[in-house]
Structure 1
Amino acid sequence: MASEQTINALMCGTGEYTTGWTGSGASQSDKKIGVVALTLFDLRRRGKVDHLAMVGVNGKKFPAIREHLQTNIAGAYKDMDVSFDEFPKNNLVDAESYKQAIDKMKPGEAVIIFTPDTTHYPIAVYAIERGLHVLVTKPATKLLSHHNDLIALAKKHKVCCWVEHHKRFDPVYSDAKARAATLGEFNFFNAWMSQPKSQLTTFKDWAGKESDISYYLSSHHIDVCCWILQDTAVPTRVVASAATGIATSEPYNCVPQTEDTITLLVDWQSTKSQTHKGTAVYTASWTAPLKAGVHSAQHWYYMAEKGEISVDQAHRGYDVTLDETGKAWYNPFYMKYSPSESGHFDGQRGYGYISIEKFIDAARSVNAGLTTADEYDKNGFPTIANTVLTTAILHAGRISLDEKRPVGIKKEGDLWVLE
């Protein structure tokens, strides 16, 4: 067996989560210098990653992105190389430039996809078919059939295909999952997640057109619930409801079909007891107040036959008050942007960082022959196989809204399908 070597990686998507740049300037959210690029630059400094590339649709953005990264990352942290190869080149605009970028890669390299929801599937397919490891942001796909395709493709090509469900690496969530396992049969789960109305401006190009707030936000806590209940209960039916009127009004003027808040009611069936059934309510909104003190309000409650768990992810007893902006709650457990005593980046313990590092480590291990890609399905990692029910619930919710009916979820052979 070979030793683990560094790995080359391509970042698909140049927006807020990758670079912290939104096109109109640095993001005003809690990701002002991004997550993906910053993490990969640091993994390169640490000797895990080598050559980096970034692909978007509009090559005209790259000069501003490079200046942003140079000032706010290279200029803020010691020994941080922010160089990368760009696609499309020469200020071109090309929606399929990801193909050119991927064609230059070799099997065993990594592709990290943070692009609009409808583009995840074609990019992931193109990469996996060329023997590349893939990390895709949530939701992995909008359609359950596409998710099933990626499971089969990853298995065929023996590559890692993971979904960037970083909340699985939150120490509080991880501890809560372990404690939930001791509480007996599941009974009730309730999750809330919201972001301020300003997000309707940030995401206006696709909000209500290519995806919705349930796919964008509820994907986080639906996956947490599926993760907690893995091997103990399965979803059987989804009914969705939505509030409207804010996103489509002034000053946001989103397309007429844009929902403000979406709630999914999901029935769960125990796999160990026919008499035990549970219910879950997942709500997501992007019409929260502009100055709520947190970028993402988020909490969830879990009840089982022997106890309950309540988690407020947004408020962890750490708040800062400023004359100009008032009180704000921060979450350094996610990404710590302040430098270390030596001046280096110091966010390696943040679960936003860890979720990317774990994927890179898995890809390097598979390349070295130390593990196989399917081994990670058995260990609770957010692999494409382990996250299929999250997509099933989200897709069922969208159908329920569009067709105004309950949608069933069942297993046919090895495949999960919708009714």
Structure 2
Amino acid sequence: MADLKKLNVLMCGTGEYTTGWTGSGASTSDKKIGVVALTLFDLRRLDKVDHLAMVGVNGKKFPEIRQHLEKNIAGVYKDMDVSFEEFPKNGLVDADAYKVAINQMSAGEAVIIFTPDSTHFPIALYAIERGLHVLLTKPATQLLAHHNTLIEAAKKHNVVCFVEHHKRFDPVYSDARAKAATLGEFNFFNAWMSQPKSQLETFRAWAGKDSDISYYLSSHHIDICCWILEGIAVPTRVVASAATGIATSEPYNCVPQTEDTITLLVDWQSVKSQKHKGTAVYTASWTAPLKAGIHSGQHWYYMAEKGDINVDQAHRGYDLTYDDSGKSWVNPFYMKYSPSESGHFDGQRGYGYISIEKFIDAVRSVNANLTQPSDYDKQALPTIANTVLTTAILNAGRISLDEKRPVGIKREGDLWILE
């Protein structure tokens, strides 16, 4: 048996999803203590990872972040070491600190990127070109051309590059995909995903400037649709529409170009039957009501030749009522934050955790020469190659909004391109 060595990992990004800490303090969302750092601290406890580092732009945040992690993770779970090396050091502010951190790493180590969408591509490419394995949050990139570049770079440097589409590991979604494979030709898909207006406070620094709500939220269900339709249909045309006015008004005051709600209408063509065509509607909003009892409103409907599927992930038959905040619907399948009977972290079965662990396991396997990065393209995992159509649809939607026109998607040789 080959030696599966423990992996050194750099976390790029110090925000809500990594640490549970935002610019205004601890997150008030369903990720109060984050996902990425918590998962990696636990994987270190389980001897899968070793040295951990974290890089952001503003080094002045680290004292508060460390205090937050010490209190809410080390202070809650038994045997949890929350230590990490920080970049930039000494309280400096440096937008290129990720280069300093990556330059200190060795080929075969891993980088996990949870930063604003516009920064994914340069950080990922910088890491891949130095022989590092990469896990990117969604959307992988904002431009299809950049996504194609990362596919080629990962292949050239023979590294693992995954996109953190954790919805693929939701047991309901995974089972629904298997059922969809028995329903024949695709006909219609409708997805809704929303978050409350309070998120505009959390994302004010980049909302409407560096990215939009379609990239941020619709990337989840567009990927699920593309995943379901592998070998069944391909997207051919995208038309986008947007609602505006809330994000740009008091009290949020986002930049003038910020959309509230974005809808993409996508045409799909069957790969086996010329006469079978399908349509999909993907809608995302960050202007949902503040006290709806859920952080993320999310559901989708799939109709095919021989049946349909209806999934509501926001209401799973499990709800709580609090005197001060009212009714709350919870999702126990994502992250479990309550400790185990022994006092240890007990969320290893959550799909937020699994999606990161799958990447760590793949990297350790490749480093031990048990597998090759290309093996994972054949396993329906969210590799950079397997997620290209998600980026194609999102990029086409942005162009459609900006240029007020339909945008075509087609394949030229091995490349997907936009028209």
* TM-score, with structure 2 as normaliser: 1.00
Give the aligned residue type for 1:31: K
In the other structure, the counterpart of 1:256 is 256
User: Is 2:43 the counterpart of 1:35?
Assistant: no
SS of the residue corresponding to residue 112 of structure 1 reads strand
Q: Deviations over 1:208-263 (max 9, x none)?
A: 01100000000000000000001111000000000000001111111110000000
In the other structure, the counterpart of 2:400 is 400
In the other structure, the counterpart of 1:19 is 19
CA distance in 2, matches of 1:80, 1:315: 32
Q: Deviations over 1:44-91 (max 9, x none)?
A: 000100000000000000000000000000000000000000000000
Q: Deviations over 1:361-397 (max 9, x none)?
A: 0000000000000100001000000000000000000
CA contact (8 A) 2:392 2:417 kept: yes
CA distance in 2, matches of 1:205, 1:11: 20
Q: Deviations over 1:317-374 (max 9, x none)?
A: 0000000000001111000000000000000000000000000000000000000001
CA distance in 1, matches of 2:36, 2:379: 24
SS of the residue corresponding to residue 301 of structure 1 reads strand
SS of the residue corresponding to residue 293 of structure 1 reads coil
In the TM superposition, 1:277-316 aligns within 5 A as 277-316=277-316
CA distance in 1, matches of 2:257, 2:418: 23
Give the aligned residue type for 2:137: T
In the other structure, the counterpart of 1:347 is 347
In the other structure, the counterpart of 1:204 is 204
Give the aligned residue type for 1:241: S
In the TM superposition, 1:182-193 aligns within 5 A as 182-193=182-193
User: Is 2:265 the counterpart of 1:265?
Assistant: yes
1:137 CA displacement: 0.1
In the other structure, the counterpart of 2:148 is 148
CA distance in 1, matches of 2:360, 2:123: 18
* TM-score, with structure 1 as normaliser: 1.00
CA distance in 1, matches of 2:92, 2:23: 16
1:23 CA displacement: 2.1
CA contact (8 A) 2:23 2:202 kept: no
In the other structure, the counterpart of 2:330 is 330
1:24 CA displacement: 1.5
CA distance in 2, matches of 1:23, 1:77: 25
SS of the residue corresponding to residue 285 of structure 1 reads strand
CA distance in 1, matches of 2:314, 2:155: 37
Give the aligned residue type for 2:95: A
SS of the residue corresponding to residue 152 of structure 2 reads helix
In the other structure, the counterpart of 2:136 is 136
CA distance in 2, matches of 1:231, 1:159: 25
CA distance in 2, matches of 1:217, 1:9: 26
SS of the residue corresponding to residue 25 of structure 2 reads coil
1:156 CA displacement: 0.3
CA RMSD of aligned residues (A): 0.5
1:25 CA displacement: 1.1
In the TM superposition, 1:378-417 aligns within 5 A as 378-417=378-417
Give the aligned residue type for 1:193: M
The sequence identity of aligned pairs, in percent, is 84
CA distance in 2, matches of 1:64, 1:186: 50
SS of the residue corresponding to residue 268 of structure 1 reads strand
CA distance in 2, matches of 1:25, 1:254: 20
CA distance in 1, matches of 2:329, 2:130: 43
Give the aligned residue type for 2:43: L
SS of the residue corresponding to residue 321 of structure 1 reads strand
Alignment: residue pair count: 419
Consecutive unaligned residues of structure 2, counting only runs of 5 or more, are none
In the other structure, the counterpart of 1:174 is 174
1:2 CA displacement: 3.3
1:3 CA displacement: 1.6
In the other structure, the counterpart of 1:48 is 48
CA distance in 2, matches of 1:368, 1:343: 33
Give the aligned residue type for 1:143: L
CA distance in 2, matches of 1:344, 1:2: 29
CA distance in 2, matches of 1:381, 1:21: 29
Q: Deviations over 1:267-309 (max 9, x none)?
A: 0000010010000000000000000100000000000000000
